Amino acid sequence: MTAVAEGVGFRSKRGPILIALMLSTGLVAIDATIVATAVPSIVEEIGGFSSFPWLFSAYLLAQAVSVPVYAKLCDMAGRKPIILTGIGLFLLGSILCGFAWSMPALIAFRVVQGLGAGAVQPMAVTIAGDIYSLAERSKVQGYLASVWAVSSVVGPTLGGVFASLGLWRGIFFVNVPLCLLAGWMLIRTFHEEIERTRHRVDYLGAALLTVSLSLIILGALQGGQAWAWDSPISIAVFALGAVLFAVFLFVERRAAEPILPPWIASRRLLATTALISFGVGAVMLGLTSYVPTFLEGTLSTSPILAGLALAALTLGWPISASQSGRLYLRIGFRSTALIGITVTVIGAAILFATASTPNVMLVAASCFVVGLGLGLVATPSLIAAQTSVEWNERGVVTGTNLFARSIGSALGVAVFGAVANAVYAGTPNGGTNPDTIASASAAVFLAVLISAALTVVAVVAMPAPARADEA
């Protein structure tokens, strides 16, 4: 399928498809923020306070490990059936969550939601890469990124409203009309021509990848929380995950159509853009997880105000993402990404330097700067990877890039959590002491700064392809 330049926007010929992709992305974006605000209400009704972190861990785990599988399948069967499958699973998971009768049941149904999200987000980005030309893709990524910006405000607000009314189940049922509308619009407006050929599905590789990464991410998410990092269970989880992943790599070398083709690691552009995406995920989740806690714990700001300060991060991203095409068409992908990562480092440095004197406006401004930088890093690097391959490889490449971001987020949260817990552990009542919270947050912001600085190395190592207008 070849992209044809004919304008970007809701009124263009492809406008209905763009709206459908934005609706699909909105399912995942809103869910990322709406659940957190309703946790107290959920626990009050069905109990399970000690288990509620699994509401997020189980969802993130299912989403991350399923992305590479969906990415490979979409290159074999087409994008449309995979994204519709994802929307269907998300719809089913949402309905089940709305009827959950206990915390274990709710956690299990969140896994179903996560499996749906693992298909929806990468397929939306892949379809955009298919139907829009190189010059148009940055604008389209801006549209998709704007969904996250809006959701960062709508999600917590909507969740707070449902929670205050004692209707926490509504945060899941609200997905039902959105799923039906997105699916209906995709069925009506998005048509693709697939050359039907026989394929050999790599079931063994898919199973090994899913189990091995589930164990590794599980160890990262629960280490220092559910069990000590050096405990026997922690060591066993990581060791078994590593062994199974090694077996997966061995199997993939002999598979006829591997789930995660070895050629991705052998192509320098694809390998470096995946590392860049990993760093973006770590920086993004590091701030998302700790900025609200920092403001609420040190300044006693309301959750809504703290959330709005964080929203500056996701407001800066779509602004720069939508304009990044102007840069990479003139100076190239790598130069644009270098500007972006430099801006990100500056924003993270300001946040770390001012952590000892917390100020809501300063934190919001720093997050906005980081968001501007990330938009100039994530979008050009993803589009560079997409542009370097043909249609039948674009799904795997896009999925690998977003998969790397998910892994960066999961491992980043684990590492940053370990850093914060180390500071809290040294002070009695550290979790409620404003000075200790400020110190722990400063340590996390330093870790975020280091993550951004390390990402600079990946951007520098990214090969400079032909000028974007020649690619």
Q: Model confidence over 404-423: pLDDT tens digits?
A: 888 887 777 777 877 877 78
Query: What is the band of 197 on the pLDDT scale with cuts at 50, 70, 90?
Result: low
Q: Please choose, from the candidates 290, 318, 322, the residue with its C-alpha nearest in 3D space to the C-alpha of residue 423.
A: 290
Query: What is the band of 468 on the pLDDT scale with cuts at 50, 70, 90?
Result: very low
Residue 325 within a domain = yes
Task: Work out the average pLDDT over 81-91.
Answer: 94
The pLDDT tens digits for 444-465 are 899 999 999 999 999 999 986 5
Q: Which of 144, 161, 190 is the last residue of a domain?
A: 190
Residue 184 within a domain = yes
Q: Which residue has the higher pLDDT, 287 or 337?
A: 337
d(CA 346, CA 449): 9
Query: What is the band of 5 on the pLDDT scale with cuts at 50, 70, 90?
Result: very low
Percent of the chain with pLDDT strictly greater than 70: 90
* Residue 464 DSSP symbol: -
d(CA 319, CA 338): 17
Task: Work out the average pLDDT over 376-386.
Answer: 90
d(CA 90, CA 82): 12
> pTM above 0.85?
no
Query: What is the band of 276 on the pLDDT scale with cuts at 50, 70, 90?
Result: very high
* 168 shares a domain with 31: yes
Q: Which residue has the higher pLDDT, 158 or 446?
A: 446
Residue with the two structure tokens 């590479």? 68
The distance from CA 25 to its chain's CA centroid, rounded to whole angstroms, is: 11
* 387 shares a domain with 291: yes
Residue 471 within a domain = yes
pLDDT for the residue 471: 40
Residue with the two structure tokens 């714990």? 297
* 239 shares a domain with 328: no
Dihedral in degrees, nearest 10, Cα atoms 159, 163, 165, 171 = 50
* 316 shares a domain with 214: no
Residue 84 within a domain = yes
Q: 323: which residues sit within 8 A by CB, 6+ positions away? A: 138, 142
Q: Which residue has the higher pLDDT, 246 or 140?
A: 246
pLDDT for the residue 40: 67
Q: Which residue has the higher pLDDT, 250 or 166?
A: 250
Residue 47 within a domain = yes
pLDDT for the residue 225: 67
pLDDT for the residue 277: 93
Range of the domain at 308: 266-471
pLDDT for the residue 349: 95
Percent of the chain with pLDDT strictly greater than 90: 26
* 273 shares a domain with 249: no
* 252 shares a domain with 181: no
Residue 4 within a domain = no
* 319 shares a domain with 223: no
* 279 shares a domain with 232: no
* 295 shares a domain with 237: no
Specify whether the CB–CB gap between 437 and 294 falls below 8 A. yes
Q: Which of 138, 162, 190 is the last residue of a domain?
A: 190
Q: Say yes or no to pLDDT of 294 above 90.
A: no
Total structural domains within the chain? 3
Q: Which residue has the higher pLDDT, 272 or 285?
A: 272
Neighbours of 265 (CB within 10 A): 13
The pLDDT tens digits for 101-110 are 888 899 899 9
* 272 shares a domain with 246: no
The residue type of 34 is I
Residue 40 within a domain = yes
Residue 2 within a domain = no
Give the CB-side neighbour count of residue 169, counting CA atoms within 13 A.
Answer: 11
* 367 shares a domain with 275: yes
* 294 shares a domain with 232: no
CATH of residue 343's domain is 1.20.1250.20
DSSP helix/strand/coil, 4: coil
Q: Please choose, from the candidates 85, 87, 95, 93, the residue with its C-alpha nearest in 3D space to the C-alpha of residue 110.
A: 93
Give the burial string for 281-304 (b: 16+ CB within 10 Å, else e). Answer: bbbbbbbbbbbbbbbbbbbebeee
Q: Say yes or no to pLDDT of 393 above 70.
A: yes
